């Protein structure tokens, strides 16, 4: 069994869609990034890659590669799943946290779990997603950005 930890953060800006866990969430700002900037999926990918000792998302999807400009992180997650399969790893579970002052995430968490489960070919019972604020503190508390953390277990 192997454990992996992932973290990602992106800045909130105007004129971008907010996409988390493959779900487009209505909000006045979105996350800035080379791909769709889905911090939740990026953290999950890094935890999976880390557990398998396969580097990180920057190694596999560099931000200076035009192939990944505007890319859906769901597609990138599918690629990570293929890398794990090539090494004969199975995902036991994923536990992730979204850190954002706004918007409220609760209405979207089940769809996020379903998107992740479908992409990784695991059940939603193997995926837990939580959301928290930072009580107005720091860059997330000031609505300047959103971050996410993920830990996973693979065998």
42 is in an annotated binding site: yes
Contact 95, 151 (CB under 8 A): yes
116 is in an annotated binding site: no
142 is in an annotated binding site: yes
144 is in an annotated binding site: no
125 is in an annotated binding site: no
58 is in an annotated binding site: yes
Contact 99, 148 (CB under 8 A): yes
28 is in an annotated binding site: no
27 is in an annotated binding site: no
104 is in an annotated binding site: yes
106 is in an annotated binding site: yes
103 is in an annotated binding site: yes
99 is in an annotated binding site: no
10 is in an annotated binding site: yes
35 is in an annotated binding site: yes
Helix (H, G, I), strand (E, B) or coil at 25: strand
7: which 2 tokens?
A: 């973290």
Contact 103, 25 (CB under 8 A): yes
132 is in an annotated binding site: yes
13 is in an annotated binding site: no
105 is in an annotated binding site: yes
147 is in an annotated binding site: no
63 is in an annotated binding site: yes
Q: In a 10 Å sphere around its CB, with 0-12 CB exposed, 13-18 middle and 19+ buried, how is residue 108 labelled? A: buried
How distant, in Å, are the alpha carbons of 16, 30, 78, 106, 134 from that of 141? Answer: 20, 16, 31, 17, 5
| Binding site as annotated, residues for a divalent metal cation | 8, 10, 42
| Binding site as annotated, residues | 8-10, 34-35, 42, 56-58, 61-65, 100-106, 132-135, 139, 142
């Amino acid at each position: 069994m192997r454990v992996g930890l992932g973290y990602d953060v992106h800045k909130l800006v105007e004129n971008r869609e907010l996409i988390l866990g493959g779900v487009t969430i209505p909000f006045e700002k979105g996350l800035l990034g080379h791909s769709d900037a889905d911090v939740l999926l990026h953290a999950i990918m890094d935890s999976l890659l880390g557990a398998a000792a396969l580097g990180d998302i920057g190694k596999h999807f560099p931000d200076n590669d035009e192939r990944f400009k505007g890319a859906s992180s769901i597609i990138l997650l599918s690629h990570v799943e293929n890398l794990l399969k090539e090494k004969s790893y199975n995902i036991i579970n994923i536990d992730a946290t979204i850190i954002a002052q706004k918007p409220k995430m609760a209405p979207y968490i089940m769809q996020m779990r379903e998107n992740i489960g479908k992409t990784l070919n695991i059940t939603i019972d193997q995926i837990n997603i939580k959301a928290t604020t930072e009580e107005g503190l720091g860059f997330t508390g000031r609505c300047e950005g959103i971050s996410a953390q993920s830990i996973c277990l693979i065998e």
